[in-house]
Amino acid sequence: MKKIELDRETCMGSATCVGFVPSAIKIDKDGRAALLVDDTGGVDIAALAEAVANCPVEAIRLIDAD
């Protein structure tokens, strides 16, 4: 299983990621992405991979869970 890693300091709040996986990522009150899940279980992996690939500042990554 993969984990989602999000660098909130790098995030610029474009919300591109939310468009791909609104069940896993939201824009919070600070205007930056925030994770709604801890891992990728139950998340559309293809959509999540698109969110990662389309993040304009590369703030989201998929990593192997330990």
Confidence of residue 18 (pLDDT cuts 50, 70, 90): very high
Q: Taking the domains of the chain in order of start, what are their residue ranges? A: 2-64
- This prediction has a pTM of 0.88
Segment 3-26 mean pLDDT: 96
Instruction: Fold for 2-64, please state it.
Output: Alpha-Beta Plaits (3.30.70)
Yes or no: say if 31 and 50 are a contact pair by the CB < 8 Å rule: no
The per-residue pLDDT for 64 is: 87
The per-residue pLDDT for 21 is: 96
The per-residue pLDDT for 14 is: 96
Query: Could you write out the DSSP letters of every residue in 8-54?
Result: TTT-----HHHHH-TTTEEE-TTSSEEES-SBSTTS-HHHHHHHHHH
Q: Which two tokens mark 60?
A: 């989201």
The per-residue pLDDT for 32 is: 97
